[in-house]
Chain A
Amino acid sequence: MNFIRRQLPVVIAFCFGVALWAQYYIPSRASNEALETFTGSWAIILAGCALILGILSAIHHHWTKIRLKRAGFGYSIVTLTCFAIVVLVGWFPIQWPGFAAVTIADGSFFDWIFLNVFVPLDATMFSLLAFFIASAAFRAFRARSFEATALLIAGCIVMLGRVPLGELIAIPGTNLSMTSIAGWLLNNPNTAAYRGILLGVILSQVAISLRILFGIERTYMGGGD
Chain B
Amino acid sequence: MKKPASAPDRVVLALLPLLLIGILAAPAFAQQPVASQLKLTDRPNDDGSALLLTFDLTGWDETTRVRTEVEVDGEWLPSLMFPQLITPVPTKGGSPEYFGWHAADPEQRVLVVDRYIFIQDPTAEELAENPDAVPQPQPVYLEAANTYHVRLMVLHGGVESYYDAGSMKTDEQWFNVAATNNLVMCVIFAAIIMGFIMAARRNPNLFIRRINGLEAVDEAIGRATEMGKPVLQVNGLDPLSTLSTIAAVNILGRVARRVANYDSELLVPCFDPVVMTVSQEVVKNAYLEAGRPDAYREENIYFVTDQQFSYVASVCGIMMREKPAANFLLGYFYAESLLLAETGFTTGAIQIAGTDALAQLPFFITTCDYTLIGEELYAASAYLSREPMLLGSLKGQDIGKGFVMLMILLGTILATIGVYLTTGNWNWLVEMLTPLM
**1/0 contact string of A24-43 vs chain B (CB within 8 Å):** 11111101100000000001
Choose one: A47, A72, A201; the contact of B321 (CB below 8 Å): A72
Choose one: B46, B239, B278, B300; the contact of A222 (CB below 8 Å): B278
Give how many A residues have a beta carbon under 8 Å from the other chain's beta carbons: 64
A27 near B278: Cβ-Cβ < 8 Å: no
Query: Is there a chain A Cβ closer than 8 Å to B111's Cβ?
Result: no
A222 near B45: Cβ-Cβ < 8 Å: no
The interface centre, meaning the residue of B240, B306, B381 with most chain A CB atoms within 10 A of its CB, is B381
Give how many B residues have a beta carbon under 8 Å from the other chain's beta carbons: 95
**A65-B100 Cα distance, complex, nearest whole Å:** 64
- In the complex, which residue of chain B has the Cβ closest to the Cβ of A205? B243
Which B residues touch A171, using CB under 8 A?
Answer: none
B63 CB to closest chain A CB (Å) equals: 34
B338 near A129: Cβ-Cβ < 8 Å: yes
Query: Is there a chain B Cβ closer than 8 Å to A173's Cβ?
Result: no
**A133-B306 Cα distance, complex, nearest whole Å:** 24
Which B residues touch A212, using CB under 8 A?
Answer: 246
B253 CB to closest chain A CB (Å) equals: 4
Which A residues touch B146, using CB under 8 A?
Answer: none
Which A residues touch B362, using CB under 8 A?
Answer: 140
Query: Is there a chain B Cβ closer than 8 Å to A1's Cβ?
Result: no
- In the complex, which residue of chain B has the Cβ closest to the Cβ of A5? B285
Given A200-B375, A207-B193: A27 and B45 within 8 A (CB)?
Answer: yes
B contact face: mostly helix, strand, loop, or mixed: helix
**A75-B400 Cα distance, complex, nearest whole Å:** 51
B175 near A25: Cβ-Cβ < 8 Å: yes
Query: Is there a chain A Cβ closer than 8 Å to B95's Cβ?
Result: no
Which B residues touch A51, using CB under 8 A?
Answer: 273
A129 near B335: Cβ-Cβ < 8 Å: yes
**A55-B381 Cα distance, complex, nearest whole Å:** 30
Residues 51-88 of A contacting B (Cβ, < 8 Å): 51, 53-55, 57-58, 60-61, 64, 71-72, 75
A136 near B367: Cβ-Cβ < 8 Å: yes
Choose one: B272, B299, B303; the contact of A64 (CB below 8 Å): B299
Choose one: B282, B339, B387; the contact of A128 (CB below 8 Å): B339
**A143-B400 Cα distance, complex, nearest whole Å:** 38
Choose one: A29, A217, A223; the contact of B285 (CB below 8 Å): A223
Given A46-B274, A125-B339: A219 and B401 within 8 A (CB)?
Answer: no
A residues engaging B (CB < 8 A)? 24-29, 31-32, 43, 46-47, 50-51, 53-55, 57-58, 60-61, 64, 71-72, 75, 118, 121-122, 125-126, 128-129, 132-133, 135-137, 139-140, 194, 197-201, 203-212, 214, 216-217, 219-225
- 18 A-B residue pairs with Cβ-Cβ distance under 8 Å, sorted by A, are A24-B176, A25-B182, A27-B46, A29-B47, A29-B49, A51-B273, A57-B276, A58-B305, A122-B309, A125-B312, A129-B339, A133-B338, A201-B378, A203-B375, A206-B189, A219-B250, A219-B282, A222-B253
